[in-house]
Each structure stands twice: as structure tokens, then as C-alpha cells.
């Protein structure tokens, strides 16, 4: 699937994995959930069907409170506080 973008030595793997997991966990829950769903579905679909699903998911995400919070946080130069709504 081409998902590997970094390789670490054994002694660094745990700390780097936890760092990356923390970064993911701080993201917008709705968007992360949709991304996981899209990855699972898109494995079996052609490009056009995958793009249609992604467009629909992006439109849904743009209607969430988390989207508004993300934009506000960016403008205010602060960390966002996502609530999964």
C-alpha cells in the first residue's frame, strides 16, 4: 500500500511509534475515523470510486465543529482542542 515512510533502529522503534501515535491521537477524531474507513474501503476500489468516497467524507468533515475549531486554532496560532463533533 505504500504506507511506510520511515524506518527506525530497534532501540528507537518504541519511542518513535509512541510519538507518532500521540500525534495521531491529538487529531480530529471524526476525520481520523473517516480516514481509517477510507483506507479500508479504497483497497478494493478503483481510483474514481475512491475519489468519490473521499470527496463525500471531506464534505462531511467540513461541517463538523472540529473543522471550525481547527481553522480557528490555526488563525489564532494555538493548538486545536478537538471534541469529536
pLDDT for the residue 7: 87
- Cβ neighbours, 10 Å, residue 77: 6
pLDDT for the residue 71: 92
The enclosing domain of 44 has a CATH number of 1.10.12.10
Domain encompassing residue 77 = 29-85
- 38 part of a folded domain: yes
pLDDT for the residue 12: 92
- 5 part of a folded domain: no
The one-digit pLDDT tens for each residue of the chain (85 residues) are 667 778 889 999 999 999 988 988 888 889 988 888 888 888 788 889 988 988 998 999 999 999 999 999 999 999 998 888 9
pLDDT for the residue 1: 61
pLDDT for the residue 68: 93
- The alpha-helical segments, DSSP class H, found in 1-85 are 10-25, 29-42, 47-61, 65-75
Number of domains in the chain: 1
Could you tell me if 61 and 28 are in contact, meaning their C-beta atoms sit under 8 angstroms apart? yes
- 16 part of a folded domain: no
pLDDT for the residue 27: 85
- 36 part of a folded domain: yes
29 contact partners, CB below 8 Å, separation of at least 6? 66, 82, 84
pLDDT for the residue 65: 92
Amino acid at each position: 500500500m505504500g504506507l511506510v515512510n520511515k524506518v527506525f533502529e530497534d532501540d528507537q522503534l518504541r519511542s518513535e511509534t509512541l510519538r507518532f501515535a500521540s500525534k495521531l491521537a491529538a487529531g480530529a477524531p471524526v476525520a481520523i475515523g473517516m480516514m481509517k474507513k477510507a483506507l479500508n474501503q479504497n483497497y478494493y476500489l478503483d481510483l474514481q470510486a475512491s475519489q468519490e468516497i473521499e470527496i463525500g467524507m471531506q464534505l462531511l468533515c467540513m461541517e463538523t465543529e472540529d473543522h471550525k475549531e481547527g481553522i480557528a486554532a490555526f488563525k489564532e496560532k494555538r493548538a486545536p482542542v478537538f471534541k469529536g463533533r
